[in-house]
Structure 1
């Protein structure tokens, strides 16, 4: 993966997101280069407000240094589980549009000191934010075989999960596992996989999701996003693996459904009303041209919705 972080599905995401050039928008995943943030900003007029969030202080500081930030735009160091509080604090209980690009920053991936990649040796960290108390090294050196097995299966769908977990447990009795290269070597030798890089990708993804609480944070943020969207406001989410996409898909399906009672209930008892309209019946995927110029886009799926007006049926 290169260090050039081109914003994925930029044009189509802006088409779905921006309905009012003088509205209030939130980019929940700023990234190191602020690609989507800059794209949104370019479509807004001087009266608009734009908030950019990122849990990584390095990413926010990089954007503050290298981007031209209009006066009514602001950047915040925070993961998107705080979106509602941040918007309220900024004076915006309701916003016009919210974007999530759930992909990893290429800059973070390529930095060996962050420990996200098995392609280069570095400290086994994997934390998006310095506020996260447990590193990847802490996790694999202390978690039980059962916990590691569940993590590798639930978050990586790795068939060799238990065998790899046992190998890690044995290796750490010899010495603590501190680097990405040490972990990669253990995983490769124990998995007996014909495709070791795919196995490594699944294991590293699973550990990262576990220590950064990615899926729990996403679920919380999606619910908050619906609450703070104004009528006819838009939510756009770009996901990159099936675990994220399943959460986004199921959330949008639930929020767009009028009744969620079991099918055998003769009368609705849940009193659940659809609060959104799904705009993408099937996820939007990048074109072959975009994938050719930006390999990071290959697995991307974009889903979008519109917040319904309270008077809509």
Structure 2
């Protein structure tokens, strides 16, 4: 395990204690630990925190990043968030957070298959127990299926990219991040800020890790894990995820109230300091 890759700076950094009204003795559940930025903020506010993550490498990194003196109030669970009700029986929280964005570590690690420049096999599995990799998806899915994968990640040229992948693999299989990124860049052209393959990689990551299914299975479990007036916060990074979250809130009128009608966006200052969060949006709900 390495910490050579810089620590991921999550969206809404510095705001967690305020947004969730955390204080000494509060109970906080972070269902997406990553490098531990949100968890650390909650611990520093005096909360007792339980953090979930499916990725053992993320857990190891978070344990190194979070100061040792905060560990006494911190419990880590190496599990998919879909298992939260089974793993946490008879516990109620003042705040629950899900951050649906990938961590910088996962994106930049060449051996994880998330990187545009990697010559390693396209993997993208957060849980190594999953059998199918991104490389497998690219080799097996038909054009219509690939198009749907990319559309779910808001890729405007999903059809053309799917066609190009299917045509290209007849000549040579696409097995690395660099190969896929080059194919998409050739099709879409040059760029200034956002890499042209960003949404394609996002769609593959979502498909490999069944991310939509995970969201749909996890969200209905969460109201029962909140104390009265407890706050649920969900950070999403594209419209497909946000639509699922918004609809979930509408489906819970007897248990959850919407705190803000529109999702909270990062401030211009935060985006300037951390451009990766520019597409983030946060929806907050309160337990009735």
CA 1:19–1:160: 2 relative to 1, 3 Å: closer
| Contact 2:95/2:231 (<8 A) preserved | yes
The answer to whether 1:220 aligns with 2:217 is: yes
| Contact 1:123/1:178 (<8 A) preserved | yes
| Contact 2:32/2:98 (<8 A) preserved | yes
Q: CA deviation at 1:235?
A: 0.5
SS at match of 1:51: strand
Tell me what 1:311 maps to.
none
Q: CA deviation at 1:16?
A: 2.5
| Contact 1:3/1:110 (<8 A) preserved | no
| Contact 1:279/1:304 (<8 A) preserved | yes
Distance 2:6 2:117 in 1: 13
Tell me what 1:142 maps to.
140
Q: CA deviation at 1:186?
A: 2.6
| Contact 2:154/2:199 (<8 A) preserved | yes
Tell me what 1:85 maps to.
86
Distance 2:213 2:243 in 1: 13
Tell me what 1:16 maps to.
19
Q: CA deviation at 1:195?
A: 5.1
SS at match of 2:52: strand
The answer to whether 1:303 aligns with 2:277 is: no
Tell me what 1:74 maps to.
75
Aligned Cα root-mean-square deviation (Å)? 2.1
Q: How many residues align?
A: 281
Tell me what 1:179 maps to.
176
Tell me what 1:232 maps to.
229
**Cα deviations by residue, 1:166-187 (Å, 9 ceiling, x for unpaired):** 3222322333321111122233
- 1:201-220 to 2 correspondence within 5 Å? 201-220=198-217
CA 1:294–1:49: 2 relative to 1, 3 Å: same
**Cα deviations by residue, 1:52-103 (Å, 9 ceiling, x for unpaired):** 1111110101222342243342111122212212212xxx432221011222
> Which deviates more, 172-181 or 283-292?
172-181
Tell me what 1:50 maps to.
49
> Which deviates more, 171-180 or 217-226?
171-180
> Which deviates more, 8-17 or 77-86?
8-17
SS at match of 2:88: helix
Q: CA deviation at 1:163?
A: 2.9
**Cα deviations by residue, 1:104-145 (Å, 9 ceiling, x for unpaired):** 101111111111121444321111111221100011011112
CA 1:241–1:160: 2 relative to 1, 3 Å: closer
CA 1:55–1:224: 2 relative to 1, 3 Å: same
Runs (5+) with no aligned partner, structure 2: none
Distance 2:273 2:115 in 1: 22
| Contact 1:13/1:236 (<8 A) preserved | no
TM-score (norm 1): 0.82
Distance 1:206 1:11 in 2: 29
| Contact 2:236/2:280 (<8 A) preserved | yes
**Cα deviations by residue, 1:140-172 (Å, 9 ceiling, x for unpaired):** 01111221122122x233343233223222322
2:123 to 122, 125, 130: 125
**Cα deviations by residue, 1:177-235 (Å, 9 ceiling, x for unpaired):** 2111112223333x355659654112111111111111111122111111221211110
CA 1:18–1:132: 2 relative to 1, 3 Å: farther
SS at match of 2:230: strand
SS at match of 1:25: strand
TM-score (norm 2): 0.89
Runs (5+) with no aligned partner, structure 1: 257-273, 309-313
SS at match of 1:14: helix
Tell me what 2:61 maps to.
62
Tell me what 1:279 maps to.
259
